[in-house]
Amino acid sequence: MRTKIKAIGSLAALAVVGAGTTIGLSGAANATAKPATVAPPASSNYTVCAKDDNNVPVRIYNAVAGCSTGYHAVRWSTAQPKTQVNSIPAAGPTVLTNVGGSIRTGVTKLGSTTLDAGTYDAKVLATFFRKANTSSDPAFANIQTYGTLVVWTGDSIAPDFSNDLTVGGVLIPKVNSTTLTIDPTANLDSQLQIPADGTQVNVGVFAYDDNSGSEGTTGQPGAGDFSAALQSATFTKLNV
């Protein structure tokens, strides 16, 4: 059988008190005016005046002033769980040496971090670039190129793609400019499952041509035309 505790004022996390047991309750009944809430001393966790449904005195530990007769200061831990957030530093434009082919072997890694087991909210933002004045590059006269952002765990992307998250189909537009054009972005916002402590998590990018060719790859026409930058990458552990 459980005894309910009524709180005067806002009580976000009240300990449940079982019959015959007092958990997280303290204070003494006294005749002082009953405020809606009690501001605790710096060293105290007592914050709200409360009583049970039948106005039956509850067992208490130490006397604290501030609650009227029949009310007792309710205690709960003021320490909040720390939010575990890991991040990967932003990285400036990195030339893509592989365009087309397999993402498993052609991905360009932009950074990595190590996560413990759990479920994470992964938020990653990357931007793709095309080198200035390449809209007239004959190598891409009839070709469009697209970028993919990928997050994977472990040393490499698994053959069955069971360890990666991707956002693809980001068109890298053809432009005429004297500088790199920061236009196309890939935004990954997804949950990431980490199976074991100390798991390496990587962020990388990949590009491919719509003709399934290799234009833009080192040693091929258009080599060095494409690059990508990591704007941000955070992994927030969820309490699930």
Of 80, 106, 126, at which residue does a domain stop? 80
Q: Within this chain, do residues 214 and 98 fall inside the same structural domain, yes or no? A: yes
Band (39; pLDDT cuts 50, 70, 90) = very low
User: Percent of the chain at pLDDT above 90?
Assistant: 45
SS3 68: coil
Average pLDDT of the chain, as a whole number: 73
Cβ proximity of 162 and 104 under 8 Å: no
CA angle 46–51–54, rounded 5-degree value? 165
Tokens, residue 223: 């080599």
Greater confidence (205 vs 136) lies with: 205
CATH label of the domain that carries residue 218: 2.60.120
Cβ proximity of 233 and 120 under 8 Å: no
* Containing structural domain, residue 157: 85-237
Which range among 69-73, 112-116, 121-125 shows the weakest confidence by mean pLDDT?
69-73
Average pLDDT over residues 124-144: 80
Q: Give the span between the Cα atoms of 7 and 52, in whole angstroms.
A: 9
Q: Within this chain, do residues 49 and 109 fall inside the same structural domain, yes or no? A: no
Greater confidence (110 vs 17) lies with: 110
Of 80, 101, 129, at which residue does a domain stop? 80
Q: Within this chain, do residues 75 and 97 fall inside the same structural domain, yes or no? A: no
Residues 6+ apart with CB under 8 A from 43: none
Average pLDDT over residues 127-140: 76
Beta bridge partners of 34: none
The total number of structural domains in the chain stands at 2
Taking the chain, what is the end-to-end CA distance rounded to the nearest angstrom? Answer: 28
Greater confidence (57 vs 96) lies with: 96
